[in-house]
Amino acid sequence: MIAESVLQTIEHTSVFSETGSVVVAVSGGCDSVALLHVLHSLQARLEVDLHVASLDHGIRGEAGQHDVNFVRSLAQRWKLPYTAQRAEVPKLAREWGIGLEAAARRARYDFLACVARQQGSSCVAVGHHAQDQAETMLMHIVRGSGARGLGGMRTISPMPFHPAITLFRPLLSLAREQLEAYCAAHNLAYRHDETNEDTTFRRNYLRHEILERLERLNPDMLGAFGRLAESIAVDEDFFAELLETQLMPAVDKFEGVWRIGKQAFFEMHPALQRRLLREAFRRLGDEFTGLSHHVTLDLITWAKSARPGTKRDGGASIELYMDYDDLWILRKGSQMMQSDYRLIPRDTDASITPSAPYKRHGLSISIADSSTSFSHSNDVVLKAECDVRLRTRRPGDRFKPKGMGGQSRKLKNWMIDRKVPRYVRDRIPLVTADGDVIAICLGETWHLAETDPAAASEVPSYVLNLL
């Protein structure tokens, strides 16, 4: 029955269709021994090569080494290639700053991914069963997980920390008792991990103290958890598709940066706002980045009242920035991109003369004597021998916009009125004449200052052309 169930799962999912080799994670316990035996019995029919992988986590001393030796003997007896390795998980937990259980999980997946790459395989099969599924869902409930966590484990999913590798769980619908009966029927010996009885570990506590009591209320508790996981997984698939097809097109993506219009973001249903934020953190952060429910709500609340130019640390190396029209989500250290502006380096201070025009960063600035008019709307008449420079703003800069009767304004206030994002203000191109700002480039438009009428009558005089 178990072999038929596994075969149906393989055929239904086509999980082996694109790989000729499958790595089988074997700890030596009942579930992994049963998995290896089933796959070995189907190997010829499936036309795949099996490679056994076993990791000693360095937690159980000699017992852990005995488990690896047991798996090695099993692989040799069944004439299967194998890879065994030891990891010092307690040391890794200290280095990574995480708990022992989390470190063991990460070390295990790192090992399995490494073996898969060495074998040229894109698939790793593991022996997670129905009790593991229920325990995982309970763990997520205890942590306050959202719907995604209640979806539990999938039969096929990307491997944690190594998404290019497929994790295959063909036993997920089977109870531990069924696997024990299978081993007994086929005279399969297996190892018993005594640490599975230690209820100081959270998962073991849920297994022995909580799940067993829930099964007294409902003998089909494992089936109930399985149906809940399947139902939520279907809903989550729908939201994931909605996110990709309808929301992602509204997001501008740069290297380490996402940008979405504020109006578009706040018009979304709250469920979609939360998913978009979590997806941004997942894709922009490192492989361990996650966004808790509490932090997700907190960031959305901040965004609703954030003033333009303010920033919020989201944790996990991610920060949010609000400008006039957009919400930015970016990896710390990433450069925000803004296609609407032509920007120059902050330290730019270039002299512009008739013999030294400026042609960089998409700008073209030239000077000629008054007898050579460029006949462009951006022409500016300059008095003779003035010092013309291209630079960025400085404290105290003022600007006399055309049409203001010669009145000057603080450059900062002028930029605020035009909703120039704070993060680009120090890179906006300015042209000055004898220290006075006479032209400001915003995107494709040059904003010109009110000029002195007497300058045009001076002889000789110059014409500044801005493109």
Query: Which tens digits make up the pLDDT trace of 12-58?
Result: 888 888 788 999 999 999 999 999 999 999 988 888 999 999 999 98
pLDDT of residue 26: 94
| Mean pLDDT for the stretch of residues 83-100 | 90
For residue 255, count other CB atoms closer than 10 A to its CB: 9
Q: What is this structure's pTM?
A: 0.67
pLDDT value at residue 52: 95
pLDDT of residue 77: 94
Pairing of strands 318-322, 365-369: unpaired
Residue 72 has pLDDT above 80, yes or no: yes
* CA 153/CA 164 separation, integer angstroms: 17
Provide the pLDDT for residue 121.
93
Q: Residue 314: pLDDT band by 50, 70, 90 thresholds?
A: confident
Dump the DSSP string for 290-352.
---HHHHHHHHHHHHHPPTTEEEEEETTEEEEE-SSEEEEEETTPPP--TTS----TT-EEEE
* pLDDT over 70, % of the chain: 93
Q: What was the pLDDT predicted at 225? A: 87
**Domains of the chain, first to last:** 2-217 (3.40.50.620), 250-331 (3.30.465.60), 349-466 (no CATH)
Region 81-88: what's the mean pLDDT? Answer: 93
Q: Quick check: 373 pLDDT over 80?
A: no
- pLDDT at 101 exceeding the cut of 60: yes
Where helices occur in 47-99 by DSSP H, the ranges are: 62-77, 89-96
pLDDT at 157 over 80: yes
Least confident piece of the model among 38-47, 90-99, 402-411: 402-411
Q: What is the mean pLDDT of residues 68-80?
A: 93
Amino acid, single-letter form, for residue 95: E
Q: Region 286-303: what's the mean pLDDT?
A: 80
pLDDT at residue 224 tops 70: yes
Query: How far is 116 from 123, CA to CA, in rounded Å?
Result: 7
pLDDT at 4: 87
